[in-house]
Amino acid sequence: MEFSIKQSSPENQRSACVVLGIFEGGQLAPAAHALDQSVNHQLSDLIARGDMTGKSGSTVMIPSLSGVTTERVLLVGLGKPDEFNAKQFLDMLRTTFAALHKTICKDAALYFTDLPVKDRDEIWKIQQIVLIGAESAYRADGLKSKPADKPVLRKILLGSAKKPDSAAVTALHQASAIAHGMKLAKDLGNLPGNICTPSYLAEQANKLAGEHKLKATILEEKDMEKLGMHSLLSVTHGSRQPAKLITLEYRGGDKKQKPVVLVGKGLTFDSGGISLKPGADMDEMKYDMCGAASVLGTMLAVAEMSLKINLVAVIPSSENMPDGAASKPGDIVKSMAGLTIEILNTDAEGRLILCDALTYAARFEPDTVIDIATLTGACVIALGGVASGLFSNQDQLARELLDAGEYSNDKAWQMPLWDDYQQQLDSNFADMQNIGGRAAGSVTAACFLSRFTKDYRWAHLDVAGTAWKSGKEKGSTGRPVPLLTQYLINRVNTTK
């Protein structure tokens, strides 16, 4: 879907459909009012007759309205004016795109950027129109022999009463980049484990580097061996697929500026290993590389935006499979940091690959390191699909990530990293064990990682509940690409 922004009045708009908002109680949003004036109050008449209530979730399509150049006018209910907040706006956008996709319209002009949304600016509205529009057109049909019908709606114009300023144009451009990053993350996430292997992810990183200003480096198992990454390597012992450590570097900032490093869990299939998972829904463990996918998506978005920042992606990627060579419960391995780990459950493998990747991340002399991982089922129980779990060793970083998530509609919620939890990882035989019992499962997983991140400012996002949806709507969400890119955009804007 293509988006553009332009000063335009709805009555003179030549598109297949003009979309206008109507508040409950009959109040016309500014653009609807303008159009109403030029069509002899036909809209007000329609509202007075009761054909459009303005209730949220409602839509009325007017096929041909005399006095306008557009072929159709779609009225969308906004609900009560004093309750029109961010959530209402987002729900209204989903309703709008669902209604448009039911028509034969190839293009539409949306007059939404002037709507007054509580606590939200124009830039936010532009961003969300693009993200929700792109989301509505997404199909995961690349592997069907007959692809699903492509949406006919291809072009969206954001109509605005005033001439869009440079901030609005930038917002549109950046939002399109975020949408592209989310699409990449979704495409990779939705691929099955037999296609999306660690080698496939490495190829995708190389491809990205070929297409954008990025440098890719792929470390093989023998390289990791030399670095002493025995914790990471222990996870891949049961797999026929070679593990990869993928790095991508983007240098858009000052040479001396320390980079942000994003570390993404890239488990292309997590069977649990010898601590085998139950069979039900095990297919969803193809999504265990969604942290990696979100990091690749963010790199793409940042490169497309030419953001003035230095950014590095580190992606440890492997499968977790049962096999004669696989790690066994009770095995003890030595991490790259020199700390020994007793593997009591081979299904707690994410932390085993991440700890070595986090140690490796220090080589880039980072300003900040953020890891993104589908780490624990416990996080799904705690926060469901609404918020990602956020842990950090620095409160200001946590605040910045929470704000970025709130703004971009990709929420996170902070969880504690108190030392009180660390003892749950005590082992009789090694420096630590890889599980901390049933209590506070997502916290003890984060505590495990925190032992490897003492030398830098660090945050961990547990996206086990937010990276994909289960059930009838099964599919990758592309989260947390919006949160991460927003955080990076905000960083650049505040250090300008």
Spatial distance between the Cα atoms of 265 and 315, rounded to a whole number of angstroms: 6
Among the listed ranges 41-49, 51-59, 268-276, 461-469, the one in contact with Mn ion (CB under 5 A) is 268-276
Does 345 interact with ligand BES (rule: CB under 6 A)? yes
Q: Contact, 159 vs 115, CB < 8 A? A: no
Burial class (CB in 10 A: 0-12, 13-18, 19+), 71: middle
Encoding tokens for residue 401?
Answer: 């990530």
Report the Cα 299 to chain-centroid distance in Å: 12
Site for Zn ion in 467-496 (CB under 5 A): none
Does 270 interact with Mn ion (rule: CB under 5 A)? yes
Find, among 161, 119, 346, the residue nearest to 239 by Cα: 346
Catalytic residue among 94, 277, 308, 474: 277
Question: What's the Cα-to-Cα distance from 252 to each of 170, 257, 293, rounded to whole Å?
Answer: 17, 10, 21
Q: By C-beta, is 21 or 264 nearer to Mn ion? A: 264
Does 270 interact with Zn ion (rule: CB under 5 A)? yes
Query: Which residues of 420-480 form beta strands (DSSP E)?
Result: 432-433, 457-462, 468-469, 475-476
Task: Give the nearest distance from C-beta 273 to ligand BES in angstroms.
Answer: 9
Does the active-site annotation cover 399?
Answer: no
Task: Give the nearest distance from C-beta 442 to ligand BES in angstroms.
Answer: 8
Q: By C-beta, is 247 or 374 nearer to ligand BES? A: 374
Task: Give the nearest distance from C-beta 267 to Zn ion in angstroms.
Answer: 5
Of the candidate residues 133, 316, 350, 436, the single one contacting Zn ion (CB under 5 A): 350
Task: Give the nearest distance from C-beta 398 to ligand BES in angstroms.
Answer: 22
Does 349 interact with ligand BES (rule: CB under 6 A)? yes
Does 342 interact with Zn ion (rule: CB under 5 A)? no
Encoding tokens for residue 60?
Answer: 């009325």
Q: By C-beta, is 209 or 445 nearer to ligand BES? A: 445
Q: 256: left (phi > 0), else alpha (psi -120 to 50), else beta?
A: alpha
Does 319 interact with Zn ion (rule: CB under 5 A)? no
Find, among 351, 435, 337, 353, the residue nearest to 391 by Cα: 351
Does the active-site annotation cover 277?
Answer: yes
Find, among 297, 306, 330, the residue nearest to 427 by Cα: 330
Among the listed ranges 118-126, 166-174, 347-355, 440-448, the one in contact with Zn ion (CB under 5 A) is 347-355
Report the Cα 207 to chain-centroid distance in Å: 21
Instruction: Determine the length of the chain.
Output: 496
Does 462 interact with Mn ion (rule: CB under 5 A)? no
Active site residues: 277, 351
Q: Where does this chain bind ligand BES (CB under 6 A)?
A: 270, 288, 345, 347-350, 374-378, 380, 435, 441, 464
